[in-house]
């Protein structure tokens, strides 16, 4: 599930919550924990650079 992204441009990802299938958009370099708006599950955690995504990416938005 971990995809390697070498580009330096920031992106948004549309991700799907593994718990409730809610789809929402996450900034690639999120600086705070991103939670599912429906069930509250952590979808991404900050790492100082790119966020550590914990949800399935369904689409890249540029």
Which residue, 28 or 34, has its beta carbon nearer to Zn ion?
34
What are the CB-based long-range contacts (under 8 Å, 24+) for 19-25? 23/58, 25/61
Sites for Zn ion among residues 39-58 (CB under 5 A):
39, 41
Binding letters toward Zn ion, positions 2-41, x by CB under 5 A? ---------------x-xx-x-------------x-xx-x
Torsion of CA 6, 26, 43, 53, to 10 degrees: 0
Our CA angle for 51, 9, 52, nearest 5°, is 10
Which residue, 9 or 58, has its beta carbon nearer to Zn ion?
58
Binding site for Zn ion (CB under 5 A): 17, 19-20, 22, 36, 38-39, 41
């Amino acid at each position: 599930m971990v995809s390697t992204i070498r580009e330096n441009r920031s992106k948004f990802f549309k991700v799907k919550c593994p718990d409730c299938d809610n789809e929402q958009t996450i900034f690639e370099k999120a600086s705070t924990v991103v939670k599912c708006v429906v069930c509250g599950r952590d979808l991404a955690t900050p790492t100082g650079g790119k966020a550590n995504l914990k949800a399935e990416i369904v689409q890249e938005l540029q």
